[in-house]
Amino acid sequence: MATTTIENYVKEIFFAEQENPGNPVPMGTIAKALKVVPGTATTMVKSMERNKLLKYKPRIGVTLSGKGRTLAIRMIRRHRLIEVFLVNVLKLDWDEIHEDAEELEHVVSDRILEKIDELCGYPEFDPHGDPIPSADGTFKPVKHKNLMECPTGRQLAIQRVLDQEASFLKFAMNNGLTPGANIQVVERNPIAEAITILLDKGRQLSLGAKVAEKILVA
């Protein structure tokens, strides 16, 4: 049975692989994501390699095995379903659920998790718009663009918010930048690396590139 630490490692390695498909994940990336020193991360991945969860190449990085990928997707499903439950059933704000979900994903039984799935109506996305893997480990295919990539004058709907830091989510909530909201890019300023968007009731909001790139739309 995988420990909490192993479950956290495979999940973070999976996310890093998605950021840079087809390439090994450097040890520095893993250490930063898990907030440990590189030596600690190296010791852990060597242990995980012995358990056939990944392949480790010194000075290059790691790649999840099929077994490791399956475990990672299982943990992602658990985390995102729990977030839906915390928001939809317990009525917590979306900026305060991530850490609780991080704790609960390791302890909730499979039976309870499937009841949560049923109770919440078998959701396909979590409150931040992240896709929830199905029980068989598949993700619903989605095509999104970030706001910096979008042309002006086109009606758009927010699908996903990438940054799950509480401060960013509060900013997004306070400004109506939540999944399902309809917006339109009305002005682009390439020199300032900023855009102006039109929200509900004619309200306009200027966003810098660092913020706009974290808002995905369709």
Burial class (CB in 10 A: 0-12, 13-18, 19+), 211: buried
pLDDT at 201: 85
Which of 36, 64, 92 is the C-terminal boundary of a domain? 64
At 193 the three-state DSSP class reads coil
pLDDT value at 1 more than 80? no
Q: Give the pLDDT score at 14.
A: 98
Residue 135 in any domain: the answer is no
pLDDT tens column, 96-127: 999 999 999 999 999 999 999 999 999 999 99
Q: Which residue has the tokens 């190296």?
A: 42
Q: Is the pLDDT of residue 5 over 80?
A: yes
Query: Quick one: the chain helix, strand, coil %, rounded to 5?
Result: 45, 20, 35
The answer as to whether 186 is a domain residue is: yes
Task: Output the pLDDT for position 141.
Answer: 83
Distance CA(87)–CA(94), nearest Å, equals: 6
Instruction: Identify whether 150 is part of a domain.
Output: yes
What confidence score (pLDDT) does residue 102 get? 96
In a domain, 82, yes or no: no
Inside any domain, residue 201:
yes
CATH of the domain at 37: 1.10.10.10
At a CB cut-off of 8 Å and minimum separation 6, what does 122 contact?
none
**What per-residue confidence (pLDDT) applies to 143?**
87
Mean pLDDT of 138-164: 93
Domain count for the chain: 2
Query: Which CATH number fits the domain that encloses residue 194?
Result: 2.30.30.90
Q: What is the pLDDT of residues 57-92, one digit of tens each?
A: 999 999 999 999 999 999 999 999 999 999 999 999
- The answer to whether residue 22 sits within a structural domain is yes
pLDDT tens digits for range 17-42: 999 999 999 999 999 999 999 999 99
What is the pLDDT averaged over residues 168-194?
A: 94
Burial group, residue 94, by CB count within 10 angstroms (0-12, 13-18, 19+): buried
Range of the domain at 12: 4-64
Asked whether residue 192 is domain-assigned, the answer is yes
Residue 111's pLDDT is what? 96
